[in-house]
Amino acid sequence: MRDLTPLEARVLGVLVEKAATVPDTYPLSLNALVAGCNQKTAREPVINATDAEVLTAIDGLKRSSLVFDASSTRVTRYEHNAARGLNVDGASAALLAVLMLRGPQTAAELRANVERLHRFTDIAAVEACLQALSDRYPPRAVRLERAPGARESRWAHLLSGEAALPAAIATGPAEGGGGSGGSLGADAVSAGELAALKGQIERQGEELARLRALVLRMAAELGIDPADEPSDEPPAPAAD
């Protein structure tokens, strides 16, 4: 199969993603597909493709039997044929879609980002699937060299030819910044770990709000003003 253009890869990734995340509106109309390509979140890089550019990409994907027109609809809609067209299973198609949409990622990041498309039991299962994609011929994925300061290697798809780390990652952390320990590597904490920490903080905030509401309700029932601070002075002795 010929190499896909970057926009063809983006279109194919969007179709695989939306088939899993918004099945009620799938297959996608051109407007929905353009909006998915130009999303500002969960996309790397962020682009601003026009309707005409996306249509050109769709035509290219059709010629490669990776996209088809959906039948029996008034408005032309499009559906993917990624698994069969790329000769991979559903789990592999999901990983490739996330790589096409978000660029090179670690196995931990991929497991977090692919969750809505396919659930892997653990990171080892993700790595096994990626390794199978790398070992086949032609290879569909590749493990990239570890970036300076990074703890883990990133994986990239090979559907658009040879892959490389984005420049901002490949150059590693900026030098200087003061302090004897130097600056912390940009990848010292992975995106998956950051997402987990953010979720934990949000849950703790919700729990704190519930506890505060409970304290206020109990204070109201007991006739206590929660704003009153307890006195540090010992209680006065009882009168004889």
pLDDT band at 191 (very low <50, low <70, confident <90, very high): very low
pLDDT band at 179 (very low <50, low <70, confident <90, very high): very low
What is the tens place of the pLDDT at every residue in 63-75? 999 999 997 668 8
Pairing of strands 67-69, 77-80: antiparallel
Residue 213 has a pLDDT of: 80
Rounded average pLDDT over 184-207: 51
What is the tens place of the pLDDT at every residue in 90-147? 999 999 999 999 999 999 999 999 999 999 999 999 999 999 999 999 999 999 998 8
| CA distances from residue 229 to 13, 90, 225, 226 in whole angstroms, order as listed | 58, 60, 9, 8
